[in-house]
């Protein structure tokens, strides 16, 4: 019998069988969000005992380590805190790290132009300005540009415009302008007299330039003076649609577009789509079968980042089992949603968590106190609580969740606003005409004082009905998830007033208006709730690129009436960026 270090294999198997079984997922690269995610709990951020101690000697269990319970069956399990009883769904740390790394990998600056371009050379990427001794002059190009030679590999390069090898480079600006101003791809082809293939190639080029620009400029977040420009952010998501590629499966392909906007400047800090165009879904599912992932809860799998086709089908069947379809349409309709036929759909909770960690990286490790205003999606709130848990614990971050009636008509909104003005008059004793002429600072002080009085005796962590309605957010309800007894009443009232999603919702409105494929789908009685539009996109990769291009245009370029872009307001730029600067 084989022996290893004095033990037989049978003895080793007996020893390993007595080892405690993990009930919580393994941390990944220092990331572990499976703790009590209730900020009011005394065990908030405290890692619970990761092992199942049932049937074990209690004297061997660390008394200072919170235990709680792991409950649930099937693919979803939750951790119930032993102190407050709060339930937190277990998350796959590995999947979150994988998605976070994917989001970061996008914004990697290209190799500097003024450096050796040979990837196998020891001087690759070392700029001539920083390392002048590594290069020597080697004549000039036909256009008169200086050519340089690397002393290590003897390869030469020249520094020129990014469009010097392009044909019809004059169309770059036209395509950028048309693409971000509501023109569909087919009309861009007509206007520029270019084929669709060439237009898509131009989109690829513009996207590469945008990524290179953002990768360089957005490193400057560390120099932003948040105390001056504002420390409040708004996060929300919208649903964008792709066309189904064939008539056999007429079901929508929907992807979440998750954005975080800086409230004061309108700068879009991050905009992420729940699409990974670089993944081959059949290979992912085959790998999951090979490693036995489908037999494990989702939090313990090797691959839990994207939706596998088999599980997505079961999920759709579950949520649409009570929906009826006309008998004549039933054979060709797959009601609800389907996965994209290229790439993969990222799970929403994984995208939300990775988005929150990405934003945490952008904000750095300073001592500023930030405020995050979120849409009412519970998963989004828990993702931000997990990512910013250390700051929340130190009192350096507050999280507020906002909900309001999004489907009111214009007349209904005006009526609600009028009710809010009446409520403000009654609460303050000041007439409407006086409010309209009052300085803004005085109006804010009076409003905060009224709200602080209304909040006396209001339960912590309970939704508050904002009484002074606005047209953009009628019947707004605000819930401060990080509320605590020691919070100053004036600060609590100020948070209630400032808890608005207006900055990110305005950006979503611009996306819907200025990107033709992002317009809301049209529904008719004959299409049985399905949405197909001749201007929608088919390729997820193209959607990802255009969304990123539009974020750049919004942040850095603006339009002809823009006096100060969001990047200028944030202190990242001294002036507007023009197309000639992008394509230089």
pLDDT in tens, 194-209: 999 999 999 999 999 9
Looking at residue 462, the DSSP 8-state letter turns out to be -
Average pLDDT for the chain: 87
Residue 64's pLDDT is 54
249: Cβ–Cβ under 8 A, 6 or more apart, which residues? 334, 338
Residue 546 dihedral angles phi and psi, to the nearest 5°: -70, -35
Q: Identify the CA nearest to 419 among candidates 453, 465, 480, 456.
A: 465
- Judged by average pLDDT, the poorest of 9-13, 282-286, 452-456, 530-534 is 9-13
Domain map (residue ranges) of the chain: 20-90, 114-159, 405-475
Query: Could you give the 3-state DSSP secondary structure of residue 123?
Result: coil
Q: Which pTM value belongs to this model? A: 0.88
Give the number of C-alpha atoms closer than 13 A to the C-alpha of residue 223, restricted to the C-beta side: 8
Do 91 and 25 contact (CB within 8 A), yes or no? yes
Residue 151: partners with Cβ closer than 8 Å, 6 or more residues away: 123, 133, 134, 135, 136
The full DSSP string for 4-38 is: ETTEEHHHHHHHHHTSPEE-SPPPBTTB---S---
Who's near 260: CB < 8 A, 6+ residues apart? 233, 234, 235, 268, 269, 270, 355, 359, 504
User: How far is Cα 371 from Cα 397, in angstroms, rounded to an integer?
Assistant: 6
pLDDT digits (tens, 9 = 90+) for 52-95: 877 666 555 555 567 789 998 778 899 999 899 999 999 999 99
Phi, psi of 563 (to 5 degrees): -90, -30
Share of the chain above pLDDT 90, in %: 62
Asked if the model's pLDDT at residue 484 lies above 60, the reply is yes
Long-range contacts made by residues 427-435, C-beta under 8 angstroms, separation at least 24?
427/467
Q: Between 114 and 295, where is the model more confident?
A: 295
pLDDT band at 557 (very low <50, low <70, confident <90, very high): very high
Pairing state between β 78-80 and 87-89 = antiparallel
pLDDT on residue 160: 67
Distance CA 55, CA 567 (A): 59
What Rg value do the Cα atoms of the chain yield, rounded? 28
Q: CA nearest 397: which of 374, 427, 431?
A: 374
User: Which residue do the tokens 């990080």 mark?
Assistant: 482
Cα–chain center distance at 495: 23
Q: What pLDDT is recorded for position 74?
A: 77
- 263-301 pLDDT, tens digit each: 999 999 999 999 999 998 899 999 999 999 999 999 999
| Phi, psi dihedrals of residue 375, rounded to the nearest 5° | -65, 165
Alpha carbon distance 125, 240 (integer Å): 38
Please give the pLDDT value at position 489: 93
What count of other Cβ atoms lies within 10 Å of the Cβ of residue 96?
A: 28
The fraction of the chain above a pLDDT of 70, given in percent, is: 88
DSSP letter for each residue of 356-399: HHHHHHHHTT-S--EEEEEES-HHHHHHHHHHTHHHHHTT-EEE
Nearest to 455 by CA among 469, 466, 445: 466
Residue 11: pLDDT over 70: no
159 near 145, Cβ under 8 Å?
A: yes
- Grouping H, G, I as helix, E, B as strand and the rest as coil, residue 269 is strand
Q: Output the pLDDT for position 56.
A: 62
d(CA 479, CA 464): 6
- DSSP conformation letters of 278-306: T--HHHHHHHHHHHTGGGS-GGG-S--SB
Please report the DSSP string for 153-187 in residue order.
T--EEE---TTTT-SSTTHHHHHHHHHTTT--HHH
pLDDT band per the 50, 70, 90 thresholds, residue 28 = very high
C-alpha of 77 from chain center: 24
Nearest Cα residue to 202 out of 188, 182, 218, 223: 188
CA dihedral 268, 107, 582, 506 (to 10 degrees): -10
DSSP summary character for residue 555: I
Lowest mean per-residue pLDDT among 126-130, 175-179, 325-329, 558-562: 325-329
- Interatomic CA distance for residues 202 and 199, integer angstroms: 5
Residue 356 has pLDDT above 80, yes or no: yes
In 282-440 the beta strands, taken as DSSP E runs, fall at 344-345, 370-375, 397-403
14 confidence band (pLDDT: 50, 70, 90) = very low
Residue 330, pLDDT above cutoff 50: no
Distance CA 584, CA 582 (A): 6
Contact between residue 269 and residue 359 where contact means Cβ atoms under 8 Å apart: yes
The per-residue pLDDT for 6 is: 44
Nearest to 48 by CA among 80, 14, 95, 2: 80
pLDDT per residue over 214-241, tens digit each?
Answer: 998 888 888 899 999 999 999 999 999 9
Q: Cα-flanking dihedrals φ and ψ of residue 156, to 5°?
A: -110, 155
Give me 405's structure tokens.
């009636």
Given a contact cutoff of 8 angstroms between Cβ atoms, the answer to whether 288 and 294 are in contact is yes
Q: What is the pLDDT of residues 381-439, one digit of tens each?
A: 999 999 999 999 999 999 999 999 988 999 999 999 999 999 999 999 999 889 889 99
The tens digit of pLDDT for each residue in 95-104 reads: 999 999 999 9
């Amino acid at each position: 019998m084989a022996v290893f270090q004095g033990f037989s294999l049978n003895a080793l198997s007996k020893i390993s069988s007595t080892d405690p079984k993990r009930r919580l997922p393994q941390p990944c690269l220092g990331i572990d969000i499976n703790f009590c995610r209730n900020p009011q709990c005394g065990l908030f951020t405290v890692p619970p005992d990761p092992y199942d101690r049932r049937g074990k000697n209690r004297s061997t269990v660390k008394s200072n380590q919170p235990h709680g319970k792991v409950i649930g069956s099937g693919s979803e399990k939750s951790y119930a805190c032993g102190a407050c009883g709060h339930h937190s769904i277990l998350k796959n740390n590995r999947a979150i790290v994988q998605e976070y790394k994917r989001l970061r990998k996008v914004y990697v600056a290209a190799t500097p132009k003024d450096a050796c371009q040979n990837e196998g050379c020891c001087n690759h990427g070392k700029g001539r300005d920083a390392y002048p001794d590594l290069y020597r002059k080697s004549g000039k190009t036909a256009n008169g540009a200086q050519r340089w030679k690397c002393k290590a590999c003897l390869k030469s390069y020249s520094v020129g415009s990014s469009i010097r090898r392009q044909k019809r480079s004059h169309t770059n600006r036209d395509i950028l302008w048309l693409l971000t101003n509501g023109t569909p791809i087919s009309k861009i082809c007509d206007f520029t007299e270019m084929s669709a293939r060439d237009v898509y190639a131009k989109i690829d080029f513009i996207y590469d330039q945008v990524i290179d620009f953002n990768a360089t400029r957005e490193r400057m977040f560390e120099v932003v003076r948040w105390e001056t420009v504002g420390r409040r952010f708004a996060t929300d998501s919208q649903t964008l649609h792709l066309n189904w590629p064939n008539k056999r499966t007429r079901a929508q392909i929907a992807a979440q577009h998750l954005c975080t906007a800086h409230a004061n400047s309108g700068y879009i800090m991050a905009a992420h789509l729940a699409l990974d165009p670089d993944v081959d879904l059949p290979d992912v599912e085959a790998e999951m079968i090979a490693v036995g992932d489908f037999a494990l809860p989702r939090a313990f799998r090797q691959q839990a980042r994207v939706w596998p086709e088999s599980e997505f089908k079961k999920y759709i069947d579950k949520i649409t089992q009570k929906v009826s379809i006309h008998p004549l349409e039933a054979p060709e309709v797959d009601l609800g949603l389907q996965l994209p036929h290229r790439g993969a759909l990222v799970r929403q909770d994984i995208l939300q968590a990775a988005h929150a960690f990405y934003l945490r990286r952008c904000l750095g490790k300073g001592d500023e106190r930030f405020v995050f205003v979120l849409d009412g999606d519970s998963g989004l709130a828990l993702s931000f609580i997990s990512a910013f848990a250390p700051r929340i614990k130190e009192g350096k971050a507050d999280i507020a969740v906002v909900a309001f009636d999004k489907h009111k008509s214009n007349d209904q909104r005006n009526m609600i606003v009028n009710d809010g003005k009446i409520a403000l008059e009654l609460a303050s004793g000041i007439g409407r005409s006086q409010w309209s002429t009052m300085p803004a600072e005085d109006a804010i002080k009076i409003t905060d004082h009224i709200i602080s009085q209304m909040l006396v005796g209001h339960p912590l962590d309970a939704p508050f009905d904002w009484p002074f309605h606005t047209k953009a957010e009628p019947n707004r309800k605000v819930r401060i998830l990080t509320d605590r007894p020691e919070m100053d009443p004036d600060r609590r009232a100020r948070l209630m007033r400032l808890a608005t999603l207006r900055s990110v919702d305005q950006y979503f409105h611009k996306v819907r208006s200025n990107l033709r494929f992002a317009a809301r789908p049209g529904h008719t009685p004959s299409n049985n709730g399905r949405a197909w539009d001749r201007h929608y996109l088919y390729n997820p990769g193209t959607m990802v690129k255009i969304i990123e291009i539009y974020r750049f245009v919004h942040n850095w370029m603006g339009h002809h009436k823009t006096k100060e872009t969001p990047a200028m307001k944030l202190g990242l730029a001294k002036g507007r960026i023009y197309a000639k600067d992008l394509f230089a």
